Amino acid sequence: MATRFRAACVQMRGTRSPEDNADSAEALIRHAAALGAVYVQTPEMTNLIDRGARSIVTAAATEAEDATLRRLRAVAADLRIHLHIGSLAIRVPDGVANRAYVVGPDGAILARYDKIHMFDVDLPGGESWRESRLYRAGDRAVAVDLPWGRLGVSICYDLRFPQLYRALARAGAAMLAVPAAFTRQTGAAHWHALLRARAIETGSFVVAAAQGGLHEDGRETFGHSLVVDPWGTIVAEADGDEPGVIVADIDLTASAEARRRIPALAHDRAFAPPEMPVVEVAS
């Protein structure tokens, strides 16, 4: 099995318009393919960036009806590439899912993944997010076999939960995908460190396409799409938050070599949690 291929990250600045976002995504995907990429990843929320819960619910379509998904599947088939749609807001029976799609070169859907960890945080300066009020959380890790090796799928805030990536790596994933819409505040503080940590901990390539810049709904995202190798070295990075494409030549045998050097995945040991002290309450 060939292990070498060219990967690309598409960096976007999404809007409230699914049609405009699809136009932007298609143009950048085609540019990536023209640069020789055979695996192309778009960011989280490729079809819609909007802080308004009501407008998201109104705009979200079912998988069968989503125009962005239909269009990008056709693009993948036309270009004969593996296209990883970082995520779409998709209507499901019990709400809206933040769902990733991996599409094959014939346009078929190879894998679906619903974001597990919801971004419910209160940040300095009054920035507050409650994804769980809108999105139905997933409950299943997903890995998919590509022609070059196994890919572990995740989305954005999942990045802060290393147990997910360890499970994906132990299931054979040599490349981990982290399409994201990291806020500027959290991205500036943690984006590079967390992506490099996940690569180092698991001995995996990490590919992370990002949203970037000031969006129509007022949010600011960090950009800096990255590709990190299994030793933690950044091998490709977008220059700031402007829309564009980065490419990296990947050889997944480097994952096996990193895991041979430091076989941490084989060194896991079960352990008991710390005992909590008993606090006596005075009567």
- Grade residue 283 by pLDDT with cuts at 50, 70 and 90: low
Tell me how far apart the alpha carbons of residues 211 and 241 are, in angstroms, rounded to a whole number: 8
pLDDT(52) > 90: no
Segment 148-156 shows an average pLDDT of 98
* Other beta carbons within 10 Å of 193: 9
Q: Which two tokens stand for residue 96?
A: 């809206």
Strands 4-11 and 244-251: antiparallel
129, pLDDT greater than 90:
no
Q: Which two tokens stand for residue 264?
A: 């941490």
pLDDT confidence of residue 139? 97
pLDDT above 80 for 40: yes
Residue 204 predicted with pLDDT over 80? yes
Q: Are 176 and 135 in contact (CB under 8 A)?
A: no
H-helix or E-strand containing 146?
Answer: strand 142-146
User: For residues 66 and 211, what is the distance between their CA atoms, to the nearest angstrom?
Assistant: 20
51-71 core/surface letters (b: 16 or more CB in 10 A; e: else): eeeeebeebbbebeebebbeb
Listed in sequence order, the residues at least 6 apart from 146 whose beta carbon sits closer than 8 Å to its beta carbon are 39, 82, 102
Q: What is the pLDDT of residues 55-113, one digit of tens each?
A: 888 889 999 999 999 999 999 999 999 999 999 999 999 899 999 999 999 999 999 99
Whether 281 has a pLDDT exceeding 80, the answer reads no
Distance in angstroms (rounded) separating the CA atoms of residues 168 and 44:
19
Going by pLDDT thresholds of 50, 70 and 90, the confidence category of residue 135 is: very high
Strands 173-177, 234-237: parallel, antiparallel or unpaired by DSSP? unpaired
Decide which of 50 and 244 is more confident.
244
Q: What is the mean pLDDT of residues 216-227?
A: 95
* CA-based end-to-end distance of the chain: 70
- Tell me if 200 sits within 8 A of 208, measured CB to CB: no
pLDDT at 198 over 70: yes
Token match 């001995």: residue? 203
pLDDT at res. 86: 98
Q: Which domains are assigned to the chain? A: 4-263 (3.60.110.10)
The span from the CA of 205 to the CA of 255, in Å, is 7
Q: What positions carry a catalytic annotation?
A: 44, 115, 156
Residues above pLDDT 90, as percent of the chain: 87
